[in-house]
Structure 1
């Protein structure tokens, strides 16, 4: 009988480019393709090790002299809303959630463009056209949903989140919302509602993406009780964000070969350094 051995994913490193979070620093990413029959299992396994998905690619920061970007998630069982978060929930009680298959619409793209123009006019996505937007939403080899939040009174689309479904949680790949409603705190509300989504589906975690302690762009993630950060190849509770301040010493990171060697495949097998 013939047996086919699984092929280990190949890992690559991007060229250095300016860091969007820490001025004067350069970033690079370790990444691998996400494709084939084992895509869901690979995504589930690597996401537990600090990786994130972008279309059909999994990536993780791998900067030469900095380890400031930490993968973050909320432990749903340990989350309890603060007073301000409860107010945010009440302010948005009129919104109705609808989860659909990953399909891009003109209404979504219109909201997306307004959001970028207001919040990220000079960011890397500022020039994204309708075809690139559709690719961002629709090119996914795993279980993904588009979660829409619509005003029940006007029917207007207020917020959207591209959400991946893991075996242990939901991952907020990318969210955007109406920039003309600052008092509604729509971005925060979408996170709070995803905690409810995880609870409703008996999933223990909500994955938030990367958190950079001390970065004004990322400080909001530290406001959620039950936050955990992936540090030193394990998830650690964030009791005091000051304990996770940016690590920018040149010797803080392991060599790329060691980083790859410490990645475990979904079946538990470690990768070999030569796969880089």
Structure 2
């Protein structure tokens, strides 16, 4: 998420001209009254909007976690340990992302937008999910597959939600404090005319989509390990949509349907899982 310039009015090149115009106004009109014409946002306004938006998102994302837990409560297994195993699964998946990112940054940066490493990572994540499901089956053979799958997936989803919350809080702090990163970020929002509210909404939808995919994919594999092939395909599809977005300009990303693909795939996966559970 990018953004930024200094919040001071001195950083706005239009401010002196605006002030001069207002001082020569014989009617003493309000200099802040922009009725009747468009007023492009200044760097200070973008900073303010981002800080406010990221503050809201940093509260909404944990609320999503609470809502997921409440929704999953009716299917609570006889032991809380599947949740712990799910958290371990999410942590391993996260380690895979970190290792892949380190490899790409050290070997060749252009691999970051190459579908090859992304496909390998997605496959590894789903193989890890399959291993966790099989291990859970050995540990709790008498446990109902539905609750076990739901809470395994919930544990993995919580890891990604915690990560998303930490990233959002960190981004808010970096935007609020003057820095080269914040200046470049705000500059991107200004030059590319990126909508801050739309970016915040997409951020929340991405998190919800990821959580739904984690739960849905785990349930599908619990129902039938062969469905791992399907979850790999869906995971790769999510990654490809992200790569497509990365190849577009920041201004285009929030206005293309590809931006909603991760959320849509997450909803689809969860819907398939619910359909499978309904046949038990």
| TM class by smaller structure | under 0.3
Instruction: Give the number of the structure whose alpha-carbon radius of gyration is greater.
Output: 2
TM-score normalised to structure 1 length:
0.23
Instruction: Please state which structure has a larger fraction of its residues in helix.
Output: 2
Higher relative contact order (CA 8 A, sep 6+): 2
Instruction: Please state which structure has a larger fraction of its residues in strand.
Output: 1
